[in-house]
Homo-oligomer: A and B are copies of this chain.
Amino acid sequence: MYFEDIPLGGKITLGSFNFTEENIIAFARQFDPQPFHLDAAAAVNGPYGGLIASGWHTAAVWMKLMVANRRASEAMDGDVSQEDYLSPGTREMRWHLPVRPGLTLTYTTEAFNKRDWPSQPRLGLLQSRNEARGPDEKLYYSFISQVFIIRKPK
């Protein structure tokens, strides 16, 4: 899909991920070894009354689901050279509620804006709202992604 072909609006479900004690702890050991991410017994007496997932784990799972959906790095499928390396990055990453073992989050993405980028006439910038919600529809995590997408060759 080229930039021109991408519709705005409409939530797309990327998939779901079950956070378990095992995968929460495995992530924490590598990147966020705080007691409330690392040790279910110690976490009982911690600030959350139990184990919760690292916010960076919740974030990385989004990428995993994007790749599984072949929605990652659309621009990279083109011929963006090393010198052209560009990443507009993310905005407003927010963790709204603690993610506990056993919770399944469903991640969605919804494109809401397209922008020209004068210095990169072959690319357009797609901004999307991304959310991760629990089975009760409560919002646990959200952020705005910004991705460059190849335009239709003229």
Which residues of chain A have a CB within 8 Å of any CB of chain B? Answer: 30-34, 36, 46-49, 54-56, 59-61, 63-64, 67, 72-73, 76-82, 85, 87-98, 143
CB distance from A90 to the nearest CB of B (A): 4
CA of A78 to CA of B36, assembled, Å: 13
Q: Contacts of A47 on B, CB cut-off 8 Å?
A: 76-82
Q: Would you call B92 and A89 a contact (CB within 8 A)?
A: yes
Q: Would you call B88 and A32 a contact (CB within 8 A)?
A: no
Partner of A67, one of B34, B82, B92: B34
Q: Would you call B82 and A34 a contact (CB within 8 A)?
A: no
Q: Would you call B31 and A82 a contact (CB within 8 A)?
A: no
